[in-house]
Structure 1
Amino acid sequence: MNLTPSISAISSASSASSASSISSGPSVPAGGALLVSGASGALARQAIALLQQHRPDVPLIATTRHPDRLADLAASGVSVRFADFDQPDSLASAFEGASRMLLVSTNTVDAPPRRVTQHRNAIEAARRCGVQHVVYTSFATAGAAQPGPIAADHAATEQLLREGPGGFSVLRNAFYAELLLATLPLACRSHRLPCAPGRGRMTYVARSDCAAAAAAALADGFEGRRVLSIAGEEALDAHTLAALASEVLGVRIEAVETAPDQLEAAWTGCGASAGMARVFAGIDRGMAKGEMEVRESDLRALLGALPPCEPMDMRAFLLAHRAVIVAPPSAAAVAATAS
Structure 2
Amino acid sequence: MKKSVILAVMFAFILTVSSGAFAEITLTVAEIHPEDYPTTKGLFKFAELVKERSNGEIVIDVKFGGVLGQGEKEVVEQVQFGALDMARISISPVTEFVPALEAFGLPYIWKSQESMWKVLKGDIGARLLKEVENYKFYGLCYYESGARSFYNSKREITKVEDLKGLKIRVQSSQLMLDLVNVLGANATPIAFGEVYDAISKGVVDGAENNWPSYESTAHYEVAKFYTLDMHTRVPEILIASKIAFDKKLTPEQIALVMQAAQDTQDYVIEKWNERVEASKKIVLDSGGVTVTELTPEAFNGFVQAVQPLYEKYGAKHKAIIDEIRAAQE
Give TM-score scaled by structure 2 length. Answer: 0.29
Q: Which has the higher contact order (CA 8 A, sep 6+)?
A: 2
- Larger Cα Rg: Structure 1 or Structure 2? 2
Q: Where is the helix percentage greater, Structure 1 or Structure 2?
A: 2
